[in-house]
Protein backbone atom coordinates (compact mmCIF):
# COMPACT_ATOMS: atom_id res chain seq x y z
CA UNK A 1 0.00 0.00 0.00
CA UNK A 2 0.87 3.67 -0.06
CA UNK A 3 2.91 5.33 2.68
CA UNK A 4 3.13 9.10 3.15
CA UNK A 5 5.77 10.82 5.27
CA UNK A 6 5.26 14.45 6.28
CA UNK A 7 7.77 16.94 7.72
CA UNK A 8 8.07 18.85 9.91
CA UNK A 9 5.60 17.79 12.58
CA UNK A 10 5.54 21.30 14.04
CA UNK A 11 6.40 24.62 12.45
CA UNK A 12 6.45 28.11 13.94
CA UNK A 13 6.80 31.18 11.76
CA UNK A 14 6.48 34.91 12.23
CA UNK A 15 3.48 36.58 10.68
CA UNK A 16 4.32 37.59 7.13
CA UNK A 17 6.97 34.92 6.66
CA UNK A 18 6.61 31.88 4.42
CA UNK A 19 5.93 28.32 5.55
CA UNK A 20 6.88 25.14 3.70
CA UNK A 21 5.64 21.64 4.49
CA UNK A 22 7.05 18.63 2.69
CA UNK A 23 5.68 15.16 2.00
CA UNK A 24 7.05 12.07 0.34
CA UNK A 25 5.08 9.12 -0.95
CA UNK A 26 6.12 5.56 -1.65
CA UNK A 27 4.02 4.36 -4.59
CA UNK A 28 4.92 5.93 -7.92
CA UNK A 29 1.43 5.06 -9.21
CA UNK A 30 -0.18 7.65 -6.91
CA UNK A 31 -1.71 10.37 -9.04
CA UNK A 32 -3.61 12.76 -6.81
CA UNK A 33 -2.24 14.82 -3.93
CA UNK A 34 -4.56 16.98 -1.83
CA UNK A 35 -3.73 19.17 1.15
CA UNK A 36 -6.14 19.65 4.01
CA UNK A 37 -6.22 22.22 6.79
CA UNK A 38 -7.76 21.20 10.10
CA UNK A 39 -8.52 23.57 12.92
CA UNK A 40 -8.90 22.16 16.40
CA UNK A 41 -11.98 19.96 16.70
CA UNK A 42 -13.13 20.72 13.17
CA UNK A 43 -13.28 18.85 9.89
CA UNK A 44 -10.34 18.63 7.48
CA UNK A 45 -10.88 21.28 4.85
CA UNK A 46 -9.43 20.94 1.36
CA UNK A 47 -7.18 23.91 0.59
CA UNK A 48 -5.46 22.85 -2.62
CA UNK A 49 -4.81 19.72 -4.63
CA UNK A 50 -2.60 18.68 -7.51
CA UNK A 51 -2.68 15.84 -10.00
CA UNK A 52 0.31 13.95 -11.32
CA UNK A 53 0.18 15.57 -14.76
CA UNK A 54 0.88 19.00 -13.24
CA UNK A 55 4.11 20.17 -11.60
CA UNK A 56 2.84 23.21 -9.76
CA UNK A 57 -0.43 24.83 -8.78
CA UNK A 58 -1.08 28.15 -7.10
CA UNK A 59 -4.09 29.68 -5.39
CA UNK A 60 -3.44 33.15 -3.98
CA UNK A 61 -1.01 32.69 -1.06
CA UNK A 62 -0.94 28.91 -1.32
CA UNK A 63 1.04 26.83 -3.79
CA UNK A 64 1.82 23.16 -4.16
CA UNK A 65 4.70 21.64 -6.11
CA UNK A 66 5.08 18.03 -7.19
CA UNK A 67 8.26 16.19 -8.11
CA UNK A 68 7.21 12.81 -9.50
CA UNK A 69 10.77 11.59 -10.00
CA UNK A 70 11.63 12.14 -6.37
CA UNK A 71 8.12 11.23 -5.21
CA UNK A 72 7.66 14.30 -3.09
CA UNK A 73 5.33 17.25 -2.97
CA UNK A 74 5.33 20.43 -0.93
CA UNK A 75 2.92 23.05 0.34
CA UNK A 76 4.05 26.67 0.32
CA UNK A 77 2.18 29.37 2.20
CA UNK A 78 3.40 32.92 1.67
CA UNK A 79 2.67 36.03 3.75
CA UNK A 80 1.40 33.90 6.61
CA UNK A 81 -1.36 35.24 8.84
CA UNK A 82 -2.47 34.18 12.34
CA UNK A 83 -5.57 32.53 10.84
CA UNK A 84 -3.26 30.16 8.95
CA UNK A 85 -2.47 28.51 12.30
CA UNK A 86 -3.83 24.95 12.11
CA UNK A 87 -2.77 21.38 11.42
CA UNK A 88 -2.04 20.68 7.77
CA UNK A 89 -2.27 17.19 6.28
CA UNK A 90 -0.94 16.01 2.97
CA UNK A 91 -2.36 12.92 1.30
CA UNK A 92 -1.81 10.70 -1.69
CA UNK A 93 -4.30 8.69 -3.67
CA UNK A 94 -3.70 5.61 -5.75
CA UNK A 95 -5.84 5.13 -8.82
CA UNK A 96 -8.02 2.07 -8.98
CA UNK A 97 -11.29 0.72 -10.17
CA UNK A 98 -13.63 3.10 -8.36
CA UNK A 99 -11.36 3.33 -5.35
CA UNK A 100 -9.91 6.68 -4.37
CA UNK A 101 -8.81 6.10 -0.82
CA UNK A 102 -6.48 8.70 0.62
CA UNK A 103 -3.37 7.89 2.62
CA UNK A 104 -2.57 10.80 4.92
CA UNK A 105 0.65 12.07 6.40
CA UNK A 106 0.80 12.52 10.16
CA UNK A 107 0.19 16.25 9.96
CA UNK A 108 2.11 19.48 10.57
CA UNK A 109 1.02 21.85 13.31
CA UNK A 110 1.64 25.35 11.98
CA UNK A 111 1.76 28.25 14.42
CA UNK A 112 1.90 31.78 13.04
CA UNK A 113 3.18 34.20 15.65
CA UNK A 114 1.74 37.72 15.40
CA UNK B 1 -19.86 24.08 5.24
CA UNK B 2 -18.89 21.19 2.94
CA UNK B 3 -22.43 19.93 2.39
CA UNK B 4 -21.62 16.61 4.08
CA UNK B 5 -23.60 16.02 7.25
CA UNK B 6 -22.90 13.64 10.12
CA UNK B 7 -24.90 12.69 13.18
CA UNK B 8 -24.54 12.63 16.08
CA UNK B 9 -21.85 15.22 16.82
CA UNK B 10 -20.91 13.59 20.08
CA UNK B 11 -21.44 10.11 21.43
CA UNK B 12 -20.50 8.82 24.85
CA UNK B 13 -20.91 5.15 25.56
CA UNK B 14 -19.49 2.28 27.57
CA UNK B 15 -17.14 -0.52 26.67
CA UNK B 16 -18.84 -3.48 25.05
CA UNK B 17 -21.64 -1.38 23.57
CA UNK B 18 -22.63 -0.86 19.95
CA UNK B 19 -23.17 2.47 18.19
CA UNK B 20 -24.19 3.67 14.74
CA UNK B 21 -22.80 6.76 13.08
CA UNK B 22 -24.63 8.34 10.19
CA UNK B 23 -23.41 10.29 7.19
CA UNK B 24 -25.22 12.06 4.34
CA UNK B 25 -23.04 12.93 1.35
CA UNK B 26 -23.15 16.12 -0.66
CA UNK B 27 -25.93 16.26 -3.20
CA UNK B 28 -24.82 14.39 -6.31
CA UNK B 29 -21.91 12.57 -4.70
CA UNK B 30 -22.03 8.81 -5.06
CA UNK B 31 -18.96 7.87 -3.03
CA UNK B 32 -18.75 7.87 0.75
CA UNK B 33 -15.57 7.29 2.70
CA UNK B 34 -15.11 6.72 6.43
CA UNK B 35 -12.01 7.80 8.33
CA UNK B 36 -10.94 7.45 11.93
CA UNK B 37 -8.81 10.14 13.53
CA UNK B 38 -7.03 9.44 16.78
CA UNK B 39 -4.12 11.25 18.40
CA UNK B 40 -1.65 8.42 17.92
CA UNK B 41 -2.75 7.08 14.53
CA UNK B 42 -3.69 10.25 12.69
CA UNK B 43 -6.28 10.09 9.91
CA UNK B 44 -6.84 6.49 8.84
CA UNK B 45 -9.01 5.32 5.98
CA UNK B 46 -11.56 2.73 7.03
CA UNK B 47 -13.85 1.94 4.12
CA UNK B 48 -15.37 3.34 0.92
CA UNK B 49 -18.75 2.83 -0.70
CA UNK B 50 -19.79 3.83 -4.16
CA UNK B 51 -23.46 3.86 -5.14
CA UNK B 52 -24.32 1.26 -2.53
CA UNK B 53 -21.40 -1.08 -3.10
CA UNK B 54 -18.27 -1.52 -1.05
CA UNK B 55 -15.27 -0.40 -3.11
CA UNK B 56 -12.25 -0.36 -0.83
CA UNK B 57 -11.30 -1.41 2.65
CA UNK B 58 -8.56 0.07 4.76
CA UNK B 59 -7.67 -0.47 8.39
CA UNK B 60 -11.17 -1.37 9.48
CA UNK B 61 -11.56 -3.74 12.40
CA UNK B 62 -13.83 -6.78 12.12
CA UNK B 63 -15.96 -5.28 14.91
CA UNK B 64 -16.77 -2.39 12.58
CA UNK B 65 -19.06 -2.53 9.57
CA UNK B 66 -20.66 -0.06 7.22
CA UNK B 67 -23.24 0.18 4.53
CA UNK B 68 -24.57 2.68 2.02
CA UNK B 69 -28.30 2.86 1.44
CA UNK B 70 -30.27 3.51 -1.78
CA UNK B 71 -30.63 7.19 -0.83
CA UNK B 72 -26.79 7.22 -0.62
CA UNK B 73 -26.52 7.97 3.08
CA UNK B 74 -24.12 5.72 4.91
CA UNK B 75 -23.90 4.25 8.38
CA UNK B 76 -20.85 3.04 10.25
CA UNK B 77 -21.58 0.45 12.93
CA UNK B 78 -19.10 -0.04 15.74
CA UNK B 79 -19.63 -2.97 18.09
CA UNK B 80 -17.99 -4.48 21.18
CA UNK B 81 -16.51 -1.07 21.79
CA UNK B 82 -13.15 -0.73 23.50
CA UNK B 83 -11.49 2.27 25.12
CA UNK B 84 -9.15 2.50 22.15
CA UNK B 85 -12.06 3.11 19.79
CA UNK B 86 -12.45 6.60 21.23
CA UNK B 87 -11.72 8.91 18.31
CA UNK B 88 -13.15 11.34 15.81
CA UNK B 89 -14.93 9.57 12.97
CA UNK B 90 -15.22 11.48 9.73
CA UNK B 91 -17.03 10.68 6.58
CA UNK B 92 -16.19 12.28 3.28
CA UNK B 93 -17.90 12.22 -0.07
CA UNK B 94 -16.87 12.70 -3.66
CA UNK B 95 -18.19 12.56 -7.16
CA UNK B 96 -17.23 9.11 -8.41
CA UNK B 97 -15.13 10.23 -11.36
CA UNK B 98 -13.07 12.67 -9.31
CA UNK B 99 -10.80 12.28 -6.34
CA UNK B 100 -11.69 15.43 -4.44
CA UNK B 101 -13.13 14.44 -1.09
CA UNK B 102 -15.11 16.78 1.12
CA UNK B 103 -15.28 15.98 4.79
CA UNK B 104 -18.20 16.16 7.15
CA UNK B 105 -17.97 17.73 10.63
CA UNK B 106 -17.24 14.40 12.30
CA UNK B 107 -18.62 12.42 15.21
CA UNK B 108 -16.61 12.41 18.41
CA UNK B 109 -16.92 9.01 20.05
CA UNK B 110 -15.91 8.58 23.67
CA UNK B 111 -15.87 5.09 25.12
CA UNK B 112 -15.78 4.97 28.92
Q: What is the pLDDT of residues B35-81, one digit of tens each?
A: 999 987 789 999 999 999 998 888 899 999 999 999 999 999 999 99
Cβ of residue B96 closer than 8 Å to a chain A Cβ:
yes
- Going by pLDDT thresholds of 50, 70 and 90, the confidence category of residue B98 is low
Identify the pLDDT of residue A96.
Answer: 65
Q: How confident is the model at residue A99 (pLDDT cuts 50, 70, 90)?
A: low
B62, with CB counted inside 10 A (0-12, 13-18, 19+), is: exposed
Q: Residue B82, Cβ neighbours under 10 Å: how many?
A: 12
Tell me what pLDDT residue B35 has: 96
Residue B38: closest C-alpha in chain A: A106
Q: With beta carbons under 8 A apart, name residues in chain B contacting A34.
A: 99-101
Residue B100 forms contact with A (CB below 8 Å): yes
Contact across the interface for A101 and B42, Cβ inside 8 Å: no
Say whether B42 sits in a helix, a strand or coil. strand
Whether the CB of A52 is below 8 Å from some CB of chain B: the reply is no
CA distance B34 to chain A (A): 10
Instruction: Of A73, A112, A113, A92, give the one whose Cα is nearest residue A27.
Output: A92
B36 touches chain A (CB under 8 A): no
Amino acid sequence: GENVEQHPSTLSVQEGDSAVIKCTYSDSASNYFPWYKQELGKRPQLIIDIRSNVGEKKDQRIAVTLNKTAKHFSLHITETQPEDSAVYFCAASLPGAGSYQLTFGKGTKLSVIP
Amino acid sequence: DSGVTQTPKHLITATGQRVTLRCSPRSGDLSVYWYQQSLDQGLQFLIQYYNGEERAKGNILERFSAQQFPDLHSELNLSSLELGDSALYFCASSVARRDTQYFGPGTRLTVL
